[in-house]
Amino acid sequence: MSLIVYGGAISPFVRKVRIMLAEKGVDYTLEQVSPFNPPPEFLAISPLKRIPVLRDTDVPEPNTLPDSSIICDYLEHKFPRPALYPADPFERAKALWYEEYADSAVASNVGTGLFFERIVKRMMRGQPDEGTVQKTLTEKLPPIFDHLEQEVGNKQFLAGGAFSIADISMGTMIVNFNHAGEEVDATRWPKFAAYIRGIHARPSFKALIEEESPLIKRFRAA
Protein backbone atom coordinates (compact mmCIF):
# COMPACT_ATOMS: atom_id res chain seq x y z
CA MET A 1 0.00 0.00 0.00
CA SER A 2 1.19 3.48 -0.79
CA LEU A 3 -0.61 6.74 -0.15
CA ILE A 4 0.66 9.96 -1.68
CA VAL A 5 -0.53 13.40 -0.57
CA TYR A 6 0.09 16.16 -3.10
CA GLY A 7 0.23 19.70 -1.74
CA GLY A 8 2.17 22.30 0.20
CA ALA A 9 2.92 21.54 3.84
CA ILE A 10 1.74 24.92 5.16
CA SER A 11 -1.69 24.66 3.55
CA PRO A 12 -4.29 24.16 6.29
CA PHE A 13 -6.16 21.76 4.01
CA VAL A 14 -3.07 19.64 3.39
CA ARG A 15 -2.34 19.70 7.12
CA LYS A 16 -5.90 18.54 7.78
CA VAL A 17 -5.30 15.39 5.75
CA ARG A 18 -1.88 14.83 7.30
CA ILE A 19 -3.31 15.11 10.83
CA MET A 20 -5.97 12.58 9.88
CA LEU A 21 -3.29 10.16 8.67
CA ALA A 22 -1.11 10.75 11.74
CA GLU A 23 -3.99 10.13 14.15
CA LYS A 24 -4.73 6.86 12.35
CA GLY A 25 -1.07 5.85 12.28
CA VAL A 26 -1.02 5.48 8.49
CA ASP A 27 2.20 5.99 6.52
CA TYR A 28 2.18 8.19 3.44
CA THR A 29 4.43 10.26 1.20
CA LEU A 30 4.06 14.03 0.87
CA GLU A 31 4.86 15.45 -2.54
CA GLN A 32 5.13 19.23 -2.43
CA VAL A 33 2.94 21.03 -4.96
CA SER A 34 2.41 24.79 -5.01
CA PRO A 35 -1.17 25.80 -5.81
CA PHE A 36 0.23 28.99 -7.37
CA ASN A 37 2.44 27.19 -9.88
CA PRO A 38 1.30 23.58 -10.18
CA PRO A 39 2.80 21.30 -12.82
CA PRO A 40 0.53 20.35 -15.76
CA GLU A 41 0.19 16.76 -14.54
CA PHE A 42 -1.25 18.01 -11.23
CA LEU A 43 -3.97 19.98 -12.98
CA ALA A 44 -5.13 16.76 -14.58
CA ILE A 45 -5.96 15.30 -11.15
CA SER A 46 -7.20 18.52 -9.51
CA PRO A 47 -9.94 20.02 -11.68
CA LEU A 48 -10.43 22.94 -9.24
CA LYS A 49 -6.64 23.56 -9.18
CA ARG A 50 -6.55 23.17 -5.41
CA ILE A 51 -4.53 21.18 -2.93
CA PRO A 52 -4.51 18.55 -1.54
CA VAL A 53 -4.99 15.55 -3.79
CA LEU A 54 -4.62 11.98 -2.50
CA ARG A 55 -3.37 9.06 -4.56
CA ASP A 56 -4.08 5.53 -3.30
CA THR A 57 -1.97 3.05 -5.22
CA ASP A 58 -4.04 0.18 -3.81
CA VAL A 59 -6.75 1.29 -6.22
CA PRO A 60 -6.48 0.84 -10.00
CA GLU A 61 -5.94 4.05 -11.93
CA PRO A 62 -7.47 6.58 -11.98
CA ASN A 63 -6.72 6.45 -8.26
CA THR A 64 -6.72 10.07 -7.09
CA LEU A 65 -9.16 12.08 -4.98
CA PRO A 66 -9.17 15.89 -4.68
CA ASP A 67 -10.55 18.00 -1.80
CA SER A 68 -9.58 17.62 1.85
CA SER A 69 -13.11 16.80 3.07
CA ILE A 70 -13.56 14.06 0.49
CA ILE A 71 -10.10 12.66 1.27
CA CYS A 72 -10.73 12.61 5.04
CA ASP A 73 -14.06 10.84 4.60
CA TYR A 74 -12.35 8.27 2.38
CA LEU A 75 -9.59 7.70 4.94
CA GLU A 76 -12.17 7.23 7.69
CA HIS A 77 -13.80 4.43 5.73
CA LYS A 78 -10.55 2.85 4.59
CA PHE A 79 -8.97 3.01 8.07
CA PRO A 80 -11.91 2.98 10.51
CA ARG A 81 -9.84 2.76 13.71
CA PRO A 82 -9.47 4.97 15.58
CA ALA A 83 -12.74 6.55 14.56
CA LEU A 84 -12.44 10.27 13.81
CA TYR A 85 -16.10 10.86 12.99
CA PRO A 86 -18.77 10.45 15.72
CA ALA A 87 -20.87 7.29 15.52
CA ASP A 88 -24.08 9.03 16.58
CA PRO A 89 -25.84 10.39 13.47
CA PHE A 90 -26.61 13.80 14.96
CA GLU A 91 -23.13 14.27 16.42
CA ARG A 92 -21.60 13.18 13.13
CA ALA A 93 -23.65 15.81 11.35
CA LYS A 94 -22.50 18.40 13.91
CA ALA A 95 -18.89 17.43 13.29
CA LEU A 96 -19.41 17.85 9.55
CA TRP A 97 -20.95 21.27 10.16
CA TYR A 98 -17.90 22.38 12.19
CA GLU A 99 -15.68 21.07 9.42
CA GLU A 100 -17.61 23.14 6.88
CA TYR A 101 -17.53 26.23 9.12
CA ALA A 102 -13.77 25.90 9.55
CA ASP A 103 -13.20 25.27 5.84
CA SER A 104 -15.33 28.25 4.80
CA ALA A 105 -15.83 31.09 7.29
CA VAL A 106 -12.64 30.58 9.28
CA ALA A 107 -10.47 29.66 6.29
CA SER A 108 -11.58 32.56 4.11
CA ASN A 109 -10.73 35.12 6.78
CA VAL A 110 -7.61 33.59 8.31
CA GLY A 111 -6.33 32.52 4.90
CA THR A 112 -7.07 35.50 2.69
CA GLY A 113 -7.04 38.34 5.18
CA LEU A 114 -4.13 37.27 7.36
CA PHE A 115 -1.98 34.30 6.32
CA PHE A 116 -1.88 35.25 2.65
CA GLU A 117 -0.93 38.83 3.50
CA ARG A 118 1.74 38.12 6.09
CA ILE A 119 3.25 34.85 4.86
CA VAL A 120 2.29 33.94 1.29
CA LYS A 121 2.94 37.41 -0.11
CA ARG A 122 6.44 37.38 1.38
CA MET A 123 7.06 33.98 -0.13
CA MET A 124 6.13 35.53 -3.47
CA ARG A 125 8.42 38.53 -2.78
CA GLY A 126 5.50 40.84 -2.18
CA GLN A 127 4.61 43.09 0.74
CA PRO A 128 1.67 42.54 3.08
CA ASP A 129 -1.23 44.93 3.17
CA GLU A 130 -1.49 45.61 6.91
CA GLY A 131 -4.72 47.50 6.34
CA THR A 132 -6.33 44.27 5.17
CA VAL A 133 -4.75 42.42 8.09
CA GLN A 134 -6.04 44.86 10.68
CA LYS A 135 -9.55 44.84 9.20
CA THR A 136 -9.49 41.04 9.40
CA LEU A 137 -8.29 41.07 13.01
CA THR A 138 -10.62 43.81 14.27
CA GLU A 139 -13.77 43.37 12.18
CA LYS A 140 -14.00 40.01 10.46
CA LEU A 141 -12.57 37.44 12.87
CA PRO A 142 -14.02 38.66 16.21
CA PRO A 143 -17.64 37.65 15.38
CA ILE A 144 -16.37 34.23 14.32
CA PHE A 145 -14.38 33.82 17.53
CA ASP A 146 -17.38 35.07 19.56
CA HIS A 147 -19.46 32.30 18.01
CA LEU A 148 -16.78 29.67 18.65
CA GLU A 149 -16.41 30.79 22.25
CA GLN A 150 -20.08 29.97 22.77
CA GLU A 151 -19.89 26.72 20.81
CA VAL A 152 -16.90 25.41 22.74
CA GLY A 153 -18.32 26.28 26.16
CA ASN A 154 -16.78 23.88 28.63
CA LYS A 155 -16.21 21.10 26.09
CA GLN A 156 -12.84 19.57 25.36
CA PHE A 157 -13.94 18.58 21.85
CA LEU A 158 -16.46 20.12 19.49
CA ALA A 159 -18.65 17.10 18.69
CA GLY A 160 -19.41 13.65 20.03
CA GLY A 161 -17.34 13.95 23.20
CA ALA A 162 -14.14 12.85 21.45
CA PHE A 163 -11.47 14.20 19.12
CA SER A 164 -12.88 14.23 15.60
CA ILE A 165 -12.78 15.75 12.14
CA ALA A 166 -14.39 18.84 13.68
CA ASP A 167 -11.34 19.44 15.88
CA ILE A 168 -8.89 18.60 13.10
CA SER A 169 -10.55 21.11 10.80
CA MET A 170 -10.77 23.91 13.35
CA GLY A 171 -7.32 23.28 14.76
CA THR A 172 -5.57 23.36 11.41
CA MET A 173 -7.05 26.76 10.53
CA ILE A 174 -5.84 28.27 13.80
CA VAL A 175 -2.35 26.90 13.15
CA ASN A 176 -2.19 29.31 10.21
CA PHE A 177 -3.57 32.09 12.41
CA ASN A 178 -0.63 31.41 14.75
CA HIS A 179 1.84 31.12 11.88
CA ALA A 180 0.81 34.63 10.84
CA GLY A 181 1.97 35.92 14.22
CA GLU A 182 -1.33 35.96 16.10
CA GLU A 183 -2.75 34.16 19.13
CA VAL A 184 -6.37 33.72 20.17
CA ASP A 185 -6.88 36.35 22.87
CA ALA A 186 -7.39 34.34 26.06
CA THR A 187 -8.80 37.34 27.90
CA ARG A 188 -11.56 37.88 25.34
CA TRP A 189 -12.11 34.24 24.26
CA PRO A 190 -10.83 32.14 27.21
CA LYS A 191 -12.77 28.98 26.36
CA PHE A 192 -11.87 28.96 22.69
CA ALA A 193 -8.23 29.75 23.49
CA ALA A 194 -8.04 26.88 26.00
CA TYR A 195 -9.70 24.54 23.52
CA ILE A 196 -7.16 25.40 20.82
CA ARG A 197 -4.23 24.93 23.21
CA GLY A 198 -5.50 21.44 23.97
CA ILE A 199 -5.96 20.52 20.30
CA HIS A 200 -2.53 21.86 19.32
CA ALA A 201 -0.90 19.94 22.18
CA ARG A 202 -1.78 16.62 20.57
CA PRO A 203 1.30 14.83 19.15
CA SER A 204 -0.14 14.88 15.63
CA PHE A 205 -0.46 18.66 15.65
CA LYS A 206 2.76 19.32 17.56
CA ALA A 207 4.85 17.35 15.07
CA LEU A 208 3.56 19.26 12.05
CA ILE A 209 3.74 22.65 13.75
CA GLU A 210 7.37 21.98 14.63
CA GLU A 211 8.07 20.82 11.08
CA GLU A 212 6.56 23.96 9.55
CA SER A 213 7.85 26.55 12.03
CA PRO A 214 11.39 27.09 10.61
CA LEU A 215 10.01 27.97 7.17
CA ILE A 216 7.33 30.23 8.64
CA LYS A 217 9.81 32.06 10.87
CA ARG A 218 12.04 32.78 7.88
CA PHE A 219 9.26 34.55 6.02
CA ARG A 220 7.80 36.29 9.08
CA ALA A 221 11.23 37.84 9.62
CA ALA A 222 11.55 38.95 6.00
**Residue 222 clears pLDDT 70, i.e. is over it:** no
pLDDT of residue 126: 87
Burial class of residue 175 in the structure, from the number of CB atoms within 10 Å of its CB (0-12 exposed, 13-18 middle, 19+ buried): buried
For the chain, give every domain's residue range: 3-78, 89-220
On average, the pLDDT of the chain sits at 96
- What is each CA distance from 135 to 12, 46, 110, 138, 193, in whole angstroms? 22, 32, 11, 5, 21
CA distance 83 to 167: 13
Q: What is the pLDDT of residues 27-42, one digit of tens each?
A: 999 999 998 888 989 9
Q: What is the pLDDT of residue 218?
A: 85
Could you report the per-residue pLDDT of 181-204, keeping only the tens digit for each? 999 999 999 999 999 999 999 999
The confidence band for 221, taking pLDDT boundaries of 50, 70 and 90, is low
Q: Please state which CATH number belongs to domain 3-78.
A: 3.40.30.10
The domain defined by 89-220 folds into Glutathione S-transferase Yfyf (Class Pi); Chain A, domain 2 (1.20.1050)
Cα 121 to Cα 127, 135, 202, 211: the distances in Å are: 6, 17, 30, 21
